[in-house]
Amino acid sequence: MTEISENERWLLSYYRSSEINGALFFGRVARTIRGPLQVEVTHHFADEAAHAKLWTRCLDDLGLLPVKLSDSYQDRYLAAIGAPANLMEVMAITQVFERRVITQYRRHLRHSGTHPAVRQTIERIMEDERWHISYVKEALEGMAGRYGAEEIERTLARFTAADEEVYKGTLAEYGDRMEFLEWQS
Ligand SMILES: [Fe+2]
Ligand SMILES: [Fe+2]
């Protein structure tokens, strides 16, 4: 049986807390949103909550307790960009952080030594993450008429820059913990 290292336990705890943050973010959006995206956003909220449940169960099945984390990359990212001004900004914020999440999960899957329970959890979650990326992309494309394609591009570029900055800071602080993800990247 593959042993889970302390760094990997940290990483699984970090995934769990990221999914909780995602659920809390989309829960707030789902509570206030009106109109055509209400169904998708509420579904998205439920998915992120389910992902938090899957990580919590995975850790528990492995006989591990989540590490207590102070603040996550998402907290910092959301703090860096400030409250979204409209639904377009919500979708742009989402596209950038969903990409970050999916990249991390893909990198994790590349490790041949990944425990089967961890692998299964990531693969299950990725099914939903792929849908998140695609509905958000469509939603943003559909908003071009209202907000202007250029404005959407500018917003995405601004949030991507914030994401990279914050992720760099997270790496600087937790580099040892995250080595697992950066390896072979
Ligand atoms: Fe998720
Ligand atoms: Fe997601």
CA of 108 to the centre of ligand 2 (A): 16
CA of 18 to the centre of ligand 2 (A): 10
133 pLDDT more than 50: yes
Residue 176 confidence (pLDDT):
76
158 pLDDT more than 90: yes
Ligand having the closest approach to the CA of 100: 2
- Other C-beta atoms closer than 10 Å to the C-beta of 36 total 9
CA of 138 to the centre of ligand 1 (A): 18
CA of 158 to the centre of ligand 2 (A): 20
- Other C-beta atoms closer than 10 Å to the C-beta of 106 total 14
Confidence of residue 154 (pLDDT cuts 50, 70, 90): very high
Ligand having the closest approach to the CA of 21: 1
Q: What's the rounded Cα separation, in Å, for the pair 149 and 52?
A: 34
CA of 47 to the centre of ligand 1 (A): 6
pTM of the shown model = 0.91
Does the structural domain 6-176 have CATH classification 1.20.1260.10? yes
First to last CA, the chain: 26
CA of 48 to the centre of ligand 2 (A): 6
Tens of pLDDT, residues 77-96: 888 888 899 999 999 999 99
CA of 44 to the centre of ligand 2 (A): 7
CB under 8 A, 24+ apart: contacts of 145-153: 146/88, 147/86, 147/88, 151/88, 152/88, 152/92
Domain range list for the chain: 6-176
Tens of pLDDT, residues 10-61: 999 999 999 999 999 999 999 999 888 999 999 999 999 999 999 999 999 9
119 pLDDT more than 80: yes
Residue 45 confidence (pLDDT):
97
